[in-house]
C-alpha cells in the first residue's frame, strides 16, 4: 500500500509517503518553494516524496489529511459566538482553510493523484507520528499545539502491538491553549507567531523573575486539563487583553529595542508553560501507568520545555518527534491508514537527495575548484574547522523538521567565544542572545553533556557542567544549558567522521552545528542553494557530498 499524508493550506505545508506501513519520504513545501513556512498546497513536497520513493502519482492508494474542517468549525464557533465581541474576522480564515481542504481532491487530481482523500483527527495524527517513530512498545503520548479543529492538545495511552493504538484519555478544548498563549506573547513581544517562538524561549534565560508570580496565574491545571485565564487572553480577538497589557506592558513594536521587562515576560511565560506541561505529563504518566513519554505538537519544538519534561516529569525515557509541528502530522495521517507495527524512526534523513549531475552543475556554475574528494575530505574539513574556519556540509537526504543534523549544516569550532559573533555577522544574523547548539560524539557526551546522551535530534536542552562551560563558550546558553545533538559513531548524520577528526586535532569531539540557511530563508534544499549561500556569505568551505570547496580555490 502506498499512502500519502499531506498537511496543507496552513503554515509549514508538508507531505509524507508511507509504503507498506513504513516511512519512505518526508518533505516540507518551503524547501522546494524557498518560501519560509510556505502554507500553500504542498505540490513540491509531494513531488519530492514521489521522486525519492520511486513512486508514480497514479500508484498512490490513498491520501490522508490531518485536519477535519467541519469538526473544527463547529467546535470553535460555539466559543466565538459566546464572546461579547461576537465572531471575529479571523473566523473567515478558518472557514477559507476548511473550504480549501474540502476541495483538496481537485488539487490532487491536477498532479495525477486520483486516490480518495480522507480527513483525519489532527491530534491522533500527531500522536501516531510520535509514538510509531519512538523506540517504545507502550507509552504515554502528550500532544500540545496552538489549535486544530476544536482542540489544543490531547493525551493518550499508546501500545504498539498487535497494531499501534492510541487510547484517548483527555483533550484540551479551545480556547484553553498553551500553544496559543505562547504565540500571543510572542506577538506581544514584537515577533511573528508560528515562526519566532524560539527567540522568546532564548530570551527567557536572560529575564528576571518580576513577572513570574503574575504569569503564574495564567494557567490552572487540574488532572489532565489546563485552563487559560480569560482575563489575560482572548483568542477570538486581539489575543492579549487590556488587563494583560495593564498587568505587564503594552505590545512591543518590532522596531523597538528589547528591554529587561521584555526578557522578564519571556521568562514568566516559559516558566508557566513548563509548569503546566510538567503537571499534564506527570499526571498522564500516573494515569497510564507507563514509564515512557512521547511528546509532540508545536510545543515540542521548545527544547527547554523538552529538557524539563525529560528530567522532571518522572518518565524513564523521553522521545520528541523531530518534526513536532503540524508538518509532522502528515506522517501520522499516512500511518493511520497503513502502519507496520515494527517500524520505528531510526534517523531523520527522509527529504530530498541531490543527484550527481546537480552537484556537478552547481559547482561548475559557481566557478569553484574541488580541493579534495573522497573520505579524506572529512578530515580535511575537520582540520580547517580546528584552524578557525566556519564551513558548511551538504550531503545525503535532507533532515525532517526544523533542525539541521549534519546533512544541511554549518559547522564551527565551539571553543572560541568570537565564533558566535562571526557566524552571526557573516551568515546567520541572529539576535545576539540566541544560542547555537553543539553536536558531540556519543562517547564524549558523559564528559561534556552528561544529560545529553541519546539526543540525536537536538530537541532538548540539558545543563552543561560548570567546568565545561568555559571550554565551549560558543554553544552554551546564558543559563548554562545547551541544546545537544548526540552523534553515534557511523550514524546516518555523517558527522561522526568530522567530529572524530576534530577531536583528534583538538582533544574535543564537539562542534557547533547550525542550519545551512541565511536569515529568513528555509534550509538549503539543493546544491544550487548551498552554492548560493557559500557565494553570498563568508563561509570558508563547503563540503558537497565528499567534494570539498574552499573560498579561495576557484577555477
Ligand atoms: Fe498541530
Q: What is the pLDDT at residue 78? A: 72
Distance 140 CA to ligand 1 centre (A): 18
Give pLDDT tens digits for 197-223.
999 999 999 999 999 999 888 999 999
Contact by Cβ (8 Å): 65, 57: no
- ∠ at Cα 438 (317, 132), nearest 5°? 35
Q: What are 550's strand-pairing partners?
A: 541
10 Cα: distance to centroid of ligand 1 (angstroms): 10
CB contact at 8 A, 412 and 511: yes
Residue 433 CB-half CA count within 13 A: 17
| Ligand 1 centre distance from Cα of residue 146 (Å) | 7
531 C-alpha to ligand 1 centroid (Å):
34
How many angstroms is it from 171 CA to the middle of ligand 1? Answer: 13
Q: What distance in angstroms lies between residue 536's CA and the mean position of ligand 1's atoms?
A: 35
CB 59 within 8 A of CB 2: yes
Distances (CA, A) of 329 to 322, 422, 456: 11, 37, 20
Residue-wise pLDDT tens digits, 384-432: 999 999 999 999 999 999 999 999 999 999 999 899 989 988 888 888 8
Selection from 487, 427, 412 nearest residue 455 by Cα: 487
Give the confidence band of 376 by pLDDT, cuts at 50, 70, 90.
very high
Res 553 pLDDT > 90 = no
Residues 6+ apart with CB under 8 A from 262: 189, 190, 203, 207, 252
CA distance 164 to 21: 11
Which residue bears the cell 570539498? 548
Measured in Å, residue 15 CA sits from the centre of ligand 1 at 15
Beta 317-320 vs 292-296: how paired, if at all? parallel
What spacing in Å lies between the alpha carbon of 134 and ligand 1's midpoint? 18
| 132 — pLDDT class (breaks 50, 70, 90) | very high
Report the separation in Å between the CA atom of 349 and the middle of ligand 1, taken as the mean of its atom positions. 22
* Residue 167 CA, ligand 1 centroid: distance in Å: 18
Work out the percent of the chain whose per-residue pLDDT is above 70: 96
Q: Is the dihedral of CA 114, 119, 124, 127 positive or negative?
A: positive
Confirm if 233 and 239 have CB atoms less than 8 A apart: yes
Q: Residue 505 C-alpha to ligand 1 middle, in angstroms?
A: 44
- CA 37 / ligand 1 centre spacing (Å): 14
Predicted confidence at residue 10, as pLDDT, reads 86
Chain centre to alpha carbon of residue 352: 17
Contact 66, 35 (CB under 8 A): no
Task: Please compute the mean of the pLDDT values over residues 370-382 and round it to a whole number.
Answer: 95
| Rounded distance from Cα 377 to ligand 1 centre (Å) | 41
Q: How far is CA 404 from CA 76, 328, 453, 514, 523, in A?
A: 36, 16, 18, 6, 8
The residue count for the chain: 555
Mean pLDDT of the residues in the chain: 94
CA of 148 to the centre of ligand 1 (A): 6
Query: How many Å lie between the centroid of ligand 1 and the Cα of residue 64?
Result: 15
CA separation for the pair 129, 156 (Å, rounded):
13
State the Cα–Cα distance between residues 492 and 512, nearest whole angstrom.
Answer: 18
Q: What DSSP letter does each residue of 409-474 carry, written as one string?
A: EEEE-TT-THHHHHHIIIII---TTPPPEEEEEHHHHHHH-GGGTT-TT---EEEPPHHHHTT-GG
> What is the per-residue pLDDT across 56-88, written as a single tens digit (0 to 9) for each?
999 999 999 999 987 777 777 777 776 656 555
Tell me which residues have their CB within 5 A of the ion that is ligand 1: 145, 148, 326
Cβ-Cβ contacts under 8 Å for 61 (sequence gap 6 or more): 1, 2, 3, 115
Q: Report the pLDDT averaged over residues 93-120.
A: 83
CA dihedral 418, 463, 297, 524 (to 10 degrees): 20
Report pLDDT for 86: 56
How many CB atoms are closer than 10 A to CB 208?
12
Distance 499 CA to ligand 1 centre (A): 35
Query: What is the distance in A from the centroid of ligand 1 to the CA of 320?
Result: 14
Cell of 474: 560558543
How much is the pLDDT for 555?
A: 65
Determine the distance separating the centroid of ligand 1 and the alpha carbon of 11, expressed in angstroms: 10
State in Å: Cα 426 to ligand 1 middle.
Answer: 34
CA of 509 to the centre of ligand 1 (A): 36
What's the pLDDT score for residue 552?
A: 80
Residue 88: the pLDDT is: 58
Q: Rounded to whole angstroms, how far apart are CA atoms 424 and 402?
A: 19
**Strand, helix or coil for residue 46:** helix
The pTM score is: 0.95
Three cell numbers, residue 479: 543559563
281 Rama sector, left if φ>0, alpha if ψ -120 to 50, beta otherwise: alpha
Cα(182) to centroid(ligand 1), Å: 14
Ligand 1: centre distance to CA 361 (Å): 39
For residue 486, report the distance from its CA to the centre of ligand 1, in Å: 27
| Closest-CA residue to 143 (of 162, 161, 157, 163) | 157
Q: How far is the CA of 412 from the centre of ligand 1 (A)?
A: 34
DSSP state of 234: E
> How many A from CA of 549 to the centre of ligand 1?
40
| Residue 347 CA to ligand 1 centre (angstroms) | 22
Cβ 322 vs Cβ 178: under 8 Å: no
Cα(382) to ligand 1 centroid in Å equals 39
Cα 296 to ligand 1 centroid, rounded to whole Å: 9
Q: What is the pLDDT of residues 465-483, one digit of tens each?
A: 999 999 999 999 999 999 9
% of the chain residues with pLDDT over 90: 85
Amino acid at each position: 500500500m502506498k499512502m500519502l499524508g499531506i498537511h496543507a493550506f496552513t503554515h509549514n505545508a508538508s507531505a509524507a509517503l508511507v509504503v507498506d506501513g513504513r516511512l519512505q519520504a518526508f518533505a516540507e513545501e518551503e524547501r522546494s518553494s524557498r518560501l519560509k513556512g510556505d502554507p500553500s498546497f504542498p505540490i513540491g513536497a509531494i513531488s519530492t516524496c514521489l521522486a525519492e520513493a520511486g513512486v508514480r502519482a497514479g500508484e498512490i492508494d490513498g491520501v490522508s489529511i490531518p485536519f477535519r474542517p467541519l469538526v473544527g468549525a463547529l467546535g470553535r464557533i460555539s466559543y466565538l459566538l459566546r464572546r461579547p465581541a461576537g465572531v471575529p474576522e479571523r473566523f473567515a480564515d478558518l472557514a477559507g482553510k476548511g473550504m480549501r481542504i474540502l476541495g483538496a481532491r481537485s488539487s490532487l487530481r491536477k498532479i495525477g493523484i486520483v486516490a480518495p482523500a480522507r480527513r483525519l483527527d489532527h491530534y491522533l495524527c500527531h500522536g501516531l507520528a510520535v509514538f510509531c517513530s519512538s523506540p517504545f512498545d507502550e507509552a504515554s503520548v502528550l500532544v500540545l499545539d496552538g489549535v486544530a479543529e476544536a482542540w489544543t492538545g490531547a493525551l493518550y495511552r499508546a501500545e504498539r502491538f498487535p497494531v499501534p493504538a492510541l487510547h484517548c484519555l483527555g483533550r484540551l478544548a479551545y480556547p484553553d491553549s498553551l500553544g496559543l498563549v505562547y504565540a500571543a506573547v510572542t506577538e506581544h513581544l514584537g515577533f511573528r507567531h508560528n515562526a519566532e517562538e524560539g527567540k522568546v524561549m532564548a530570551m527567557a534565560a536572560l529575564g528576571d523573575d518580576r513577572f513570574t508570580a503574575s504569569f503564574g496565574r495564567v494557567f490552572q491545571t487540574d488532572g489532565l486539563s489546563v485552563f487559560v485565564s480569560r482575563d489575560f487572553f482572548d483568542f477570538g480577538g486581539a489575543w492579549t487583553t487590556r488587563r494583560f497589557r495593564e498587568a505587564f506592558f503594552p505590545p512591543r513594536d518590532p522596531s523597538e529595542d528589547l528591554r529587561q521587562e521584555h526578557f522578564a515576560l519571556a521568562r514568566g511565560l516559559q516558566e508557566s508553560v513548563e509548569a503546566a506541561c510538567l503537571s499534564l505529563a506527570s499526571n498522564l504518566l500516573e494515569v497510564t501507568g507507563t514509564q515512557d513519554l512521547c511528546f509532540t505538537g508545536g510545543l515540542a519544538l521548545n527544547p527547554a520545555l523538552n529538557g524539563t519534561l525529560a528530567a522532571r516529569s518522572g518518565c524513564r525515557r523521553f522521545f520528541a518527534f523531530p518534526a513536532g509541528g503540524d508538518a509532522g502530522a502528515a506522517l501520522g495521517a499516512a500511518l493511520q491508514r497503513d502502519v507496520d507495527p515494527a517500524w520505528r524512526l531510526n534517523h531523520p534523513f527522509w527529504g530530498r537527495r541531490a543527484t550527481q549531475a546537480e552537484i556537478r552543475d552547481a559547482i561548475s556554475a559557481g566557478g569553484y575548484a574541488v580541493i579534495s574528494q573522497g573520505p579524506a575530505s572529512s578530515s580535511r574539513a575537520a582540520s580547517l574547522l580546528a584552524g578557525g574556519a566556519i564551513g558548511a556540509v551538504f550531503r545525503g537526504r535532507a533532515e525532517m523538521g526544523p533542525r539541521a543534523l549534519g546533512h544541511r549544516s554549518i559547522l564551527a569550532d565551539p571553543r572560541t567565544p568570537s565564533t558566535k559573533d562571526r557566524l552571526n555577522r557573516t551568515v546567520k544574523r541572529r539576535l545576539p542572545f540566541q544560542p547555537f547548539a553543539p553536536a558531540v560524539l556519543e562517547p564524549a557526551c558523559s564528559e561534556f553533556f552528561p544529560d545529553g546522551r541519546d539526543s540525536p535530534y537536538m530537541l532538548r536542552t540539558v545543563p552543561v557542567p560548570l567546568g565545561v562551560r568555559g571550554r565551549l563558550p560558543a554553544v552554551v546558553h546564558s543559563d548554562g544549558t545547551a541544546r545537544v545533538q548526540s552523534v553515534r559513531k557511523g550514524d546516518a548524520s555523517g558527522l561522526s567522521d568530522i567530529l572524530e577528526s576534530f577531536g583528534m586535532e583538538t582533544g574535543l569531539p564537539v562542534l557547533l552545528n547550525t542550519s545551512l540557511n541565511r536569515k529568513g530563508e528555509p534550509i538549503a534544499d539543493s546544491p544550487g542553494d548551498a552554492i548560493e549561500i557559500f557565494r553570498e556569505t563568508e563561509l570558508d568551505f563547503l563540503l558537497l557530498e565528499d567534494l570539498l570547496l574552499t573560498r579561495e580555490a576557484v577555477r
